[in-house]
A = this chain, B = another copy of it.
């Protein structure tokens, strides 16, 4: 697994200003218009939950970032600097704002340069680390489940970009714009063949006759960190698990459904396509296991 452990040792004085974000290690909140992250979405990001003043699943986020950088030929990220900047951001919030919960967002782009789409031979990537306040999420979605819908937009298939968390996210933006109803928590995205791939901001699991199913992400979709933890926990609990194609109709006739992401953890789906779903014992077990893992895998 990439990126190594997140090491935590820096404690700033309370008088130090809180750095809202770093761009290549400098405290500033702008980047050059020439950056390829803007021009082409030529980069990657990670959204990391901070609880108890510590980032959750740091090593896993860094491993995905490493894989994304390799797939886009961005070179190895500077994990030492990412670690240091994240630590500074969190401790700044802790010390000056008395805040120990939030979200650290990391963006890596190919920086400026190159000629049109052609990347520079020796790119100088842009590294952005930012602390965002914890969003106000009520307890009810996790306790009672959420209502979900199917989006009209269908994901394009692009194996070269599948799985990684790249900056080309117009599909997600357009899909999220399909509904305004605040009672609908998430929209499910199908591929062109009608297989459910993911939610606009989450991964998707189905329970059918005791087996847990989650979509194959080899052609599109983002391989979420919580998805990978839930898959591990299912295996460790002896729950049968398959990564396969799941057509929408099969999803709506399943025994239970849930969503995962780094901020929400697990949200059971209570309603989809006019059908009601109960929160299954398996889902509850995985929610408990995930909560334990979240506590355990904060950086030591």
Contacts and interface: CB of A to CB of B under 8 A. Distances in A.
A158 B157 CA distance: 8
A220 interface: yes
Interface in A112-144: 115-119, 128, 130, 135
Interface in A21-47: 21, 23, 29-42, 45
A299 to B, nearest CB: 24
Contact of A170 (B40, B171, B177): B40
Contacts of A42: 169-170, 173
A176 B107 contact: no
Nearest to A176: B117
Interface in A184-216: 192, 200-201
A165 B39 CA distance: 11
A244 interface: no
Contacts of A167: 38-41, 170
Q: With a 10 A CB-CB cut-off, give which of A109, A157, A166, A168 has the most chain B CB atoms.
A: A168
A119 B128 CA distance: 22
A170 B176 contact: no
A247 interface: no
B31 A33 contact: yes
A72 B174 contact: yes
A177 B42 CA distance: 12
A161 interface: yes
A11 interface: no
A109 B167 CA distance: 14
A273 interface: no
A80 interface: no
Given A157-B157, A177-B119, A168 B41 contact: yes
A158 B117 CA distance: 20
B169 A41 contact: yes
A203 B73 CA distance: 26
Contacts of A63: none
A270 B211 CA distance: 57
A153 interface: yes
Contact of A41 (B157, B170, B177): B170
Given A153-B160, A170-B72, A171-B160, A33 B38 contact: no
A128 B200 CA distance: 28
22 contacts: A30-B32, A31-B38, A35-B38, A37-B38, A38-B38, A38-B167, A39-B167, A40-B41, A40-B172, A42-B169, A72-B173, A73-B177, A115-B135, A117-B172, A117-B175, A117-B176, A118-B177, A119-B177, A153-B160, A156-B156, A156-B220, A166-B170
